[in-house]
């Protein structure tokens, strides 16, 4: 059995770890609330932009734009959103496992796809395995602005418009709740979710200089906005995963402290019993 001094040292170590994990859980919970608010605040803008684009598409015949064009798929682009830091349970591992399974099923060689990655965890993982990364962002803040991801979003949309690849997927953890994040793959380009609606349902809008000119500006911005919304959603998922992981670590620390305390008490009791036995034996020997 371990000595009481060593057991006390282990209890102290676990208690210190528990303080850290508990603090990290509280920090993640606060960041999660802010991330959820920002994700929800971004939705009205994207929805209004979609309404305007759909309105133009419904009123314009034979509308053409590279972002709406469905082409034969020769090369696929993936924008993968991971975190820069760990201690978030299976947040990154589950997503990257899904990405690898998808690539293995869909492609026969690396010439058929290209990867853009946000987050050092995803970048490092994919680089070690020689995946073709052609764009990256690392060091993204916990409260990213559109300016933080504009360059990569603009690059992705521009490359699709120029025909460098023929479809684009967003791969990220969709926020369901603080304890549930769903690894998700969503097709971003071509934009095929602009459903036709009854023209009477649209708010009357006048376009200058023309509806087509406005559409040419709005479509790339709309695609970039969808990318930004996915980044905000992924950030909320990251904070939720980290809060859950740190909560579980704190609970495990409590359980370990209880077990070690019980072991310590037993060791201390055994030590006391042995000392009493030695005293009694010594007294008997002298009598």
Cα 277 from Cα 217, distance rounded (Å): 90
The answer to the question of residue 10 being in a domain is no
272 within some domain: no
Residue 187 lies in a domain: yes
| CATH number of the domain to which 38 belongs | 3.40.1380.10
* Average pLDDT rounded to a whole number, residues 119-134: 95
At residue 60, the pLDDT reads 67
Q: What is the pLDDT of residues 199-244, one digit of tens each?
A: 455 556 666 676 677 778 888 898 999 999 999 999 999 999 999 9
Distance between CA atoms of 133 and 137, rounded to whole angstroms?
11
Sheet with 113-118, edge to edge strand ranges: 133-137, 113-118, 76-81, 167-177, 180-189
- For the stretch 25-84, pLDDT in tens is 999 999 999 998 988 888 888 888 887 788 776 666 667 788 888 889 999 999 999 999
| Token representation of residue 232 | 């905000």
pLDDT one-digit tens code per residue, 71-99: 899 999 999 999 999 999 999 999 999 99
- On whether residue 284 sits in a domain, the answer given is no
Residue 269 lies in a domain: no
Three-state secondary-structure class, residue 176: strand
- Whether the CB-CB separation of 53 and 195 falls below 8 Å is answered with no
Structurally, the chain folds into a number of domains equal to: 1
Contact indicator for 239, 142 with CB cutoff of 8 Å: yes
Please report whether residue 160 resides in a domain: yes
What domain range includes position 163?
25-244
Query: Residue holding tokens 């590279």?
Result: 66
* pTM for the whole structure: 0.85
| Residue 19 located in a structural domain | no
Residue 73 lies in a domain: yes
């Amino acid at each position: 059995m371990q000595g009481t001094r060593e057991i006390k040292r282990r209890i102290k170590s676990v208690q210190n770890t528990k303080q850290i994990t508990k603090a990290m859980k509280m920090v993640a919970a606060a960041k999660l609330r802010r991330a959820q608010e920002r994700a929800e605040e971004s939705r009205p803008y994207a929805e209004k932009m979609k309404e305007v684009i759909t309105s133009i598409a419904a009123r314009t015949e034979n509308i053409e734009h590279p972002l709406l064009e469905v082409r034969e798929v020769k090369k696929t682009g993936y924008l993968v959103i991971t975190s820069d830091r760990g201690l978030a349970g299976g947040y990154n591992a589950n997503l990257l496992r899904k990405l690898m399974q998808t690539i293995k099923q869909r492609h026969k060689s690396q010439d058929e796809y290209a990867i853009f990655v946000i987050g050092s965890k995803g970048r490092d993982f994919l680089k070690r395995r020689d995946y073709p990364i052609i764009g990256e962002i690392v060091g993204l803040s916990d409260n990213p602005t559109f300016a933080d991801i504009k360059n990569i979003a603009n690059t992705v949309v521009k490359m699709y418009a120029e025909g460098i690849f023929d479809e684009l997927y967003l791969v990220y953890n969709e926020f369901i709740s603080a304890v549930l994040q769903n690894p998700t793959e969503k097709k971003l380009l071509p934009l095929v979710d602009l459903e036709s609606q009854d023209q009477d349902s649209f708010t009357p809008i006048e376009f200058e200089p023309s509806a087509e000119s406005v559409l040419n500006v709005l479509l790339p911005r709309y695609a970039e906005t969808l990318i930004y919304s996915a980044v905000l959603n992924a950030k909320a998922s990251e904070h939720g995963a980290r809060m859950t992981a740190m909560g579980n670590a704190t609970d495990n620390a409590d359980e370990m402290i209880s077990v070690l305390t019980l072991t310590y008490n037993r060791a201390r009791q055994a030590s006391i019993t042995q000392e009493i036995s030695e005293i009694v034996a010594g007294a008997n020997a002298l009598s």
